[in-house]
Amino acid sequence: MDPVRPLTLIEAVREQTRVRHYSIRTEKTYVGWIRRYIRFCGGRHPRELGVDALTTFLTHLAVDLKVAAGTQNQALQALLFLYRDVLRMDLPMLDQVVRANKPRRLPVVLTHDEVRRVFAELRGRSRLVVGLLYGSGLRLAEALALRVKDLDLERRELVVRHGKGGKDRVSVIPAELVTPLRAHFAALEGWYRRERSAGAPGVPVPNALKTKYPGASTSFPWLWVFPSHSICRDPYDGQLVRFHVNPRTLQRTVQAAIQRAGILKPAGCHTFRHCFATHLLESGYDIRSVQELLGHSDVKTTMIYTHVLNRGGRAVKSPLDGLF
């Protein structure tokens, strides 16, 4: 019997992320930061380094590269995962790290008229996706990861599976989207049947399900609501599969629509999730309901939208308004 080859450091990182069922995006992010850390330390193995090297790297990100606070924290989480979960090394408190400043920024929110103007510039699939971002409060990754089985058009609700933080949640399907989604599903089913007749690859499914139900990857309920036109390899097992639409494709389409609509605000796909929350609060819905629909763990995260309601600064009437 051939001896088992020991895992490389990066292979060990990937193995540990998959054991913990982290998303492929998290895995790629962690691997990227770990490689960057090793290059910064001259190619030395992280086991030979310690808290001093980690502190120097994180300080370099904040002081020299002036990265955002969220970026620095992302790097820190990746390296803590490397030392604690992969190398099994305990690190002392990281008190000496220079933290990047985390400015308190309000989200960009479009008015109802501006949202209307953007929708007027969208067609087909992109219009449906943005409809779910604005009408259901989804993140772009959540909307693209929807499968046919996750939408119940009769009850007008959808289930977000494994959203941010690995949590599931239920949100509303706007009445305006029910008819377009029915038409989309009808066209999707016809395309699906042609794909099956041609013997095209299926979609990726969770590994446990793949073992228990081998036919799940080629069944219609597990098909993406917005499948990609191209075939690629599954990063987990290397098999040919069909993923959902690339987020960058939608981001470019939405950016072009925003420009054509003549909107000068720095808006993008995620802006419509901000609009969903703000416009619901404007309509009188309580903040706890909005928190649940957005999937926020803490209501404090949702409370930021109370600062951007369409009532002027802090809902104060300016003295100039009554002067003349």
* Catalytic residue IDs: 139, 164, 270, 273, 296, 305
Q: Calculate Rg over the CA atoms of the chain.
A: 23
Do residues 117 and 263 make contact, with C-beta atoms less than 8 angstroms apart? yes
With both helix axes pointing from N to C terminus, report the angle between 124-136 and 112-120 in degrees, rounded to the nearest 10. 160
> What is d(CA 308, CA 282) in angstroms, rounded to the nearest whole number?
10
> What is d(CA 121, CA 117) in angstroms, rounded to the nearest whole number?
7
Do residues 112 and 279 make contact, with C-beta atoms less than 8 angstroms apart? yes
Could you give the C-alpha distances from 141 to 138, 269, 275, in angstroms and in order? 8, 10, 17
**For the chain, how are helix, strand and coil distributed in percent, rounded to 5?**
55, 5, 40
> What is d(CA 245, CA 228) in angstroms, rounded to the nearest whole number?
4
In degrees, rounded to 5, the angle at the alpha carbon of residue 243 between the alpha carbons of residues 234 and 170 is: 115
The maximal CA–CA distance of the chain, rounded, in angstroms, is 93
The DSSP output letter for 83 is: I
